[in-house]
Amino acid sequence: MTEENNQYRIDKQLARRSFNRAADTYDGVAELQYEIGDRMVERLDYIRQQPRRILDLGAGTGFFTAVLLKRYRKADIVALDIAERMLQRVQGRGGWFRKPQCVCADAETLPFADDSFDFIFSNLMLQWCTNLESTLRELRRVLAPGGLLMFTTFGPDTLMELRASWEAVDGYTHVNSFVDLHDVGDTLLATQWAEPVMDSERITVTYRELRTLMRELKYIGAHNVTAGRARGLTGKQHMQQLAEAYERFREDGVLPASYEVVYGHAWSPLNKHASAANEVALASLQPPGPAGSHD
């Protein structure tokens, strides 16, 4: 990993604490997140599949867990999130006789057996993973042959105005680094997913004042949890400098916040286990590295 990439590495423990703190405020400010999820749900109208077991990956407070419960009335649904307090909110979803199972775990190391699910639904979670390739391999492991993965994530232009404004203030990282759509698609192919489909769109949210945007990011748990962040509290002087730098983006009396939304879906291959065996066989044929070498 390059030094620059290491600066953007996610601190998972800090992310967990941030989302735990946001459990009570998330629903009140997550309009954009729910709009993006709704657009993904609309795409299910074109998928002819009746899954028996579904994983809501990065379920948050369970808004879309409830949507999936209603849409797939015969399916067992598991809501997984890294934050325990988010899952406490999920437990209130569903009817008296049918509630989701809640599992607190990291998406990069799933506590499930191979082929456990027929459908994985993930709205705006993948950007919080430290290694996209290993995460996609893990998702493929738990998805049965012929199963569907459908997800959204953010692309590199997300919060580009905020990133540029912070760069004018100091040299620390303040906004996550997001993976390009084409790189996500290439990683799906590299991890042996079948028929991946990728597309993206730009959504711009406007604000009268910068502090409203900053408050919303805080209330959804999107704190700066990168390795290259500044330690300690951000002072009033830095915030004032940030606000002044952001003003150059103001148009028609409002400040824009851009979001590049990446949509993707792919299938677990019907010959999944044969493909995995071939992958292991090919790896065993690779020549060993020089004596004494290490990564």
Distance set, CA 40 to CA 30, 67, 83, 145 (Å): 15, 12, 23, 22
Question: Which helix H or strand E contains 61, and what residues bound it?
Answer: none
Interatomic CA distance for residues 90 and 278, integer angstroms: 40
Interatomic CA distance for residues 32 and 174, integer angstroms: 20
**110-121 residue pLDDT tens:** 999 999 999 999
| Amino acid at the residue 248 | R
**24-58 residue pLDDT tens:** 999 999 999 999 999 999 999 999 889 999 999 99
| Entry pTM | 0.87
pLDDT-derived band at 224 (thresholds 50, 70, 90) equals: low
Using alpha carbons, select from 5, 106, 47, 97 the residue that is nearest to residue 267: 47
CB 109 within 8 A of CB 129: no
Q: Which domains does the chain have, with CATH numbers?
A: 3-158+177-203+258-271 (3.40.50.150)
**158-184 residue pLDDT tens:** 999 999 999 888 766 677 889 999 999
Query: What pLDDT shows up at residue 185?
Result: 98
Question: Which helix H or strand E contains 220, and what residues bound it?
Answer: none
Interatomic CA distance for residues 197 and 115, integer angstroms: 22
Question: Which helix H or strand E contains 246, and what residues bound it?
Answer: helix 236-246
Interatomic CA distance for residues 88 and 85, integer angstroms: 5
